[in-house]
Amino acid sequence: MLCRLGRQSDAAAVLADCRTLAATCQDPEQAAELDRIDANIAIHSGQKTRAETLLHRAVEQYSRIGAALEVATTCRILGDLLMAEGRTADAAAIYRHGLTFTPSPAP
């Protein structure tokens, strides 16, 4: 919400506090979600390279724990970022990766 209000620095400070608290839990899903939130802050701050790095890391973390919906969602966000940068081939690859984690339709 803070990002949407244009308060990226406040959002980053809250996220830093969350990362400090989460460090004691060592929960990989929580770490991935914090990376995805941090990427959103980076996007709103114009830090596209940082956002890309964080989203790739979140995809890897979600993949390791088998969080299929989160992988697909994060791949969509990353693909959209890459498309906005004009990197169509990279975006297509990440979209395809995300699709491999979605359930197949019932026969």
Please answer whether residues 32 and 67 qualify as being in contact, where contact means their C-beta atoms are separated by less than 8 angstroms. Answer: yes
**Local mean pLDDT, 10-residue blocks, the chain (107 residues):** 65 64 72 92 92 97 93 97 97 95 69
pLDDT score recorded for residue 73:
95
pLDDT score recorded for residue 24:
67
Tell me the pTM.
0.79
Domains of the chain: 8-99 (1.25.40.10)
Residues 83, 90: Cα–Cα separation, whole Å? 8
pLDDT score recorded for residue 69:
93
Please answer whether residues 2 and 38 qualify as being in contact, where contact means their C-beta atoms are separated by less than 8 angstroms. Answer: no
Helix (H) or strand (E) holding 2: none
Q: Tell me, rounded to whole angstroms, the distance of Cα 87 from its chain centroid.
A: 17
How far apart, in Å, do the first and last CA atoms of the chain sit? 41
